[in-house]
Amino acid sequence: MTVFLLLYLCADASRTDCQVVKADSWNGPYAYEQCTDVVPSLTEALTAPNRKRHRFVCEIQRDVAKPADHKAQPAFIHKSYRM
């Protein structure tokens, strides 16, 4: 299993306009725990106003074997929308 630490950089506290940046990654059976262990200290390092706007998220990506003819999909830029 691979876990990515993602930083959501948002324009305001409503978090409706965010860019996602990969900050780090871990591999192995304890990858998620390693990621979640660093989130509190990284969040605490943000200034108070930035803690309201930005956030760190650990996202699991299962290691799945892909056929040799698999073609990579274009990168997807995540946007958060609220109705």
DSSP string, 3-21: EEEEEEEESSTT--SEEEE
Collapsed DSSP state (helix, strand, coil) of residue 82: coil
Q: Which of 17, 14, 16, 18 shows the shortest CA–CA distance to 6?
A: 18
pLDDT for 76 equals 53
Q: Say how far apart CA 79 and CA 73 lie, in whole Å.
A: 18
Q: Say how far apart CA 60 and CA 31 lie, in whole Å.
A: 9
pLDDT one digit per residue (tens) for the chain, 83 residues? 899 999 999 998 888 889 999 999 999 999 999 999 999 999 999 999 999 999 999 999 976 655 555 555 555 555 555 54
pLDDT for 14 equals 86
pLDDT for 48 equals 93
Whole-model pTM: value is 0.69
